[in-house]
Amino acid sequence: MAAYYCPHCKVKAMFANMGPNKGWGGRIHSIWTCHNCDGIVYASAATEPDDVEIYPSLRSDAPEEYPDDVRENFGEALRSINGSNPKAAVIMARSALQAATREHGATGNNLKEEIDDLAARHVIPDALKDWAHEIRDGGNLVGHPKPDKKVEVADAEELIALAESIFEYLYVIPRHVERRRQRLAQGSDQPEQASQS
């Protein structure tokens, strides 16, 4: 198999076909994994070896640790980017961010003020505040387009990654810490995975 550009690790890499392959529309459709980063991609190939289209991960659900409103909006952002709809993905990532600010009791007349409020109360550090404003600015660009600026798939992927990092900080890490503390309180210092057999 030839090397193809991986949308996850951003380099040319070899891929393994996870199968099974499905044929429709004159093309073969399959799920591949990148040998370099283990990222999962959706591949659509014609009979010619150089006619292969690769799309990012088909992950469409946000982690269970996210609150319902955040998870619903971020899941829609993931499904939008999987469908190569970058503008919709950016808008929904912004919506997920605003759901998160409000879930944390942010005050303000708009998302900018809500983000600044979370940072002022030290709910998020300044670095995440800057990331949150990048997501807000991306959503504003989609909502108020400018002739000389476009939101590309790469932009949407970056903003989704930034949003995911913010949600990891707000929801996933605290839940992992809580689970660890509960496990230790029950007298076990073994990670959850180690107890499965």
Q: Where are the domains of the chain?
A: 4-55, 68-185
The residues facing 40 across adjacent strands are 33
Residue 155 has pLDDT above 90, yes or no: no
Q: What is the mean pLDDT of residues 187-194?
A: 57
Q: What is the mean pLDDT of residues 5-32?
A: 82
- Name which residue leads in pLDDT, 186 or 117: 117
Quick one: tokens of 125? 């550090």
Predicted pLDDT of residue 57: 62
For all residues of the chain together, what is the average pLDDT? Answer: 86
Contacts for 34 with CB less than 8 Å, ≥ 6 apart = 6, 8, 9, 13, 14, 15, 40, 41
Predicted pLDDT of residue 21: 79
Contact 138, 94 (CB under 8 A): yes
Predicted pLDDT of residue 38: 75
Confidence band, pLDDT 50/70/90 cuts, at residue 1: low
- Name which residue leads in pLDDT, 152 or 167: 167
Residue 124 has pLDDT above 50, yes or no: yes
**What percent of the chain stands above pLDDT 90?**
43
The residues facing 44 across adjacent strands are 29, 53
Predicted pLDDT of residue 190: 58
Q: Domain 68-185, CATH 3.40.50.620 — does that match?
A: no
Predicted pLDDT of residue 33: 84
The burial class, CB within 10 Å (0-12 / 13-18 / 19+), for 22 is exposed
